[in-house]
Structure 1
Amino acid sequence: MKPFAEIDIENDGNYLKLLSAVSKISGLFSESAVPFINYRVAENIFCKSFKANNLSRSDTAFDADFNSIGIGLKTFISKTNSSTEKVAEFNSLSRDLKNYRGKELALKLGEYRNERINLANRVYNIKSSLYHIVARREKELLLFETDYNRIDIANISSVKSNKASLQFEDGHNFYSFNYSKSTLFRKFIIPENAFKLPIDIIEDPYSLLLDLFSSNQYKSATDKLVKGENYIVLPLYGIKKKEKFVFEKSGLNQWNAGGRKRDIGEIYIPIPIDIHKEFPNFFPERDETFNLEIPTGEVFEAKVCQDNSKALMTNPNKALSDWLLRKVLQLKEGELATIEKLDKLGFDSVIITKNERFEFKIDIMKTDSYNKFWK
Structure 2
Amino acid sequence: MWNLLNQDNKNQYKLLMTNFASLSEAFAQKSSDDNVIIAPIINSKFQEVSFKKSFNATIEDIGNSSYDASVKLSDGSKYIIGIKSFGVKSGFQKIAQFKKDSQQDEWGSIIERIKKRDRKGSSDEDTRDYLELANKIALIRNKRISSSKSQLQGFDFDSEVEAVYHVLMPSGAISKSKQNDEPYIMVGETAYSSIDINSLKIIGPTSPNMLQNFQFTDGQHLYQYNSADSQLLMSFKGHTGNGTSNEDIGIEKWPVNYVEDPFKLFANLNSEATNALSDHVVQSVTFMIKIERRSGFNAWYGAPKNKLTVESVKYRQVVEQAKKCKKLPSDWLSIFKKVALEDFKSNNDKILREQLRDYLINCLAPNSELFEYTTTALWRNYKTPYEVYIPIPNSKKFHDNYPDFFVENGGLLNGKTLVSSKNNRTFTIEFLPSEERMQMFINQDNGKAIQSLNSQFIFGKWVLKKVFQLKDRELLTSDTLDDLGINAITFTKYDDNRPLSMKFTYVDSHNLPKDLWK
TM-score range, shorter chain: 0.7 to 0.9
Q: Structure 1 residues 82-91 or 193-202, which shifts more?
A: 193-202
Instruction: Tell me whether 1:132 sits opposite 2:166 in the alignment.
Output: yes
Give the Cα separation in 2 of the matches to 1:123 and 1:12.
25
Is contact 1:290–1:358 with CA below 8 Å preserved after alignment?
no
Task: Quote the residue 1:191 is aligned against.
Answer: 247
Structure showing greater radius of gyration is: 2
Map Cα deviations across residues 199-257 of structure 1 (whole Å, 9 max, x no partner).
1222422221233316x5843765376xxx621122222xxxxxxxx211111111222
Task: Quote the residue 2:429 is aligned against.
Answer: 292
Give the Cα separation in 2 of the matches to 1:253 and 1:109.
27
The verdict on how the C-alpha distance between 1:358 and 1:202 changes in structure 2, with shifts beyond 3 A counting, is closer
Task: Quote the residue 1:243 is aligned against.
Answer: none
Deviation at 1:163, TM superposition (A): 5.3
Task: Quote the residue 1:21 is aligned against.
Answer: 19
Instruction: Tell me whether 1:61 sits opposite 2:61 in the alignment.
Output: no
The verdict on how the C-alpha distance between 1:124 and 1:20 changes in structure 2, with shifts beyond 3 A counting, is same
- Correspondence 1:207-218 to 2 at 5 A: 207-213=264-270, 216=272, 218=274
- Secondary structure (helix, strand or coil) at the match of 1:14 reads helix
Give the Cα separation in 2 of the matches to 1:217 and 1:123.
34
Task: Quote the residue 1:343 is aligned against.
Answer: 482
Counterpart pick for 1:92 among 78, 81, 100: 100
Task: Quote the residue 2:300 is aligned against.
Answer: 255
Instruction: Tell me whether 1:272 sits opposite 2:393 in the alignment.
Output: yes
Equivalent residues, number: 358
The verdict on how the C-alpha distance between 1:113 and 1:326 changes in structure 2, with shifts beyond 3 A counting, is closer
Instruction: Tell me whether 1:321 sits opposite 2:460 in the alignment.
Output: yes
Structure 1 length as normaliser, TM-score? 0.84
Deviation at 1:54, TM superposition (A): 2.1
Task: Quote the residue 1:160 is aligned against.
Answer: 205
The verdict on how the C-alpha distance between 1:58 and 1:224 changes in structure 2, with shifts beyond 3 A counting, is farther
Task: Quote the residue 1:242 is aligned against.
Answer: none
The verdict on how the C-alpha distance between 1:29 and 1:325 changes in structure 2, with shifts beyond 3 A counting, is same
Map Cα deviations across residues 307-336 of structure 1 (whole Å, 9 max, x no partner).
222212121333431221133224344332
- Secondary structure (helix, strand or coil) at the match of 2:464 reads helix
- Correspondence 1:224-235 to 2 at 5 A: 230-235=283-288
Give the Cα separation in 1 of the matches to 2:479 and 2:10.
48
Map Cα deviations across residues 135-171 of structure 1 (whole Å, 9 max, x no partner).
1123211112112122222222213263552322222
Counterpart pick for 2:91 among 76, 83, 87: 83
Is contact 1:292–1:361 with CA below 8 Å preserved after alignment?
yes
1:56 partner letter: E
The verdict on how the C-alpha distance between 1:233 and 1:219 changes in structure 2, with shifts beyond 3 A counting, is closer
Is contact 2:406–2:500 with CA below 8 Å preserved after alignment?
no
- Secondary structure (helix, strand or coil) at the match of 2:84 reads strand
The verdict on how the C-alpha distance between 1:31 and 1:197 changes in structure 2, with shifts beyond 3 A counting, is farther
Task: Quote the residue 1:305 is aligned against.
Answer: 443
Is contact 1:349–1:369 with CA below 8 Å preserved after alignment?
no
The verdict on how the C-alpha distance between 1:224 and 1:136 changes in structure 2, with shifts beyond 3 A counting, is farther
Counterpart pick for 1:74 among 84, 103, 124: 84
Is contact 1:342–1:348 with CA below 8 Å preserved after alignment?
yes
1:131 partner letter: Y
Is contact 1:234–1:370 with CA below 8 Å preserved after alignment?
no
Task: Quote the residue 2:406 is aligned against.
Answer: 283
Map Cα deviations across residues 51-85 of structure 1 (whole Å, 9 max, x no partner).
3x22323453222223302221111123x2x5211
Q: Structure 1 residues 133-142 or 92-101, which shifts more?
A: 92-101
Structure 1: stretches of 5+ with no match in the other structure: 238-245
RMSD between aligned residues: 3.0
Is contact 1:85–1:186 with CA below 8 Å preserved after alignment?
yes
2:68 partner letter: D
Structure with greater strand share of residues: 1
Give the Cα separation in 2 of the matches to 1:127 and 1:16.
25
Give the Cα separation in 1 of the matches to 2:226 and 2:8.
42
Give the Cα separation in 2 of the matches to 1:88 and 1:213.
40
Counterpart pick for 2:138 among 96, 106, 110: 110
Structure 2: stretches of 5+ with no match in the other structure: 31-37, 112-129, 154-159, 174-182, 238-245, 307-379, 412-421
Structure 2 length as normaliser, TM-score? 0.62
Is contact 2:48–2:59 with CA below 8 Å preserved after alignment?
no
Give the Cα separation in 2 of the matches to 1:278 and 1:84.
48
Is contact 1:64–1:71 with CA below 8 Å preserved after alignment?
yes
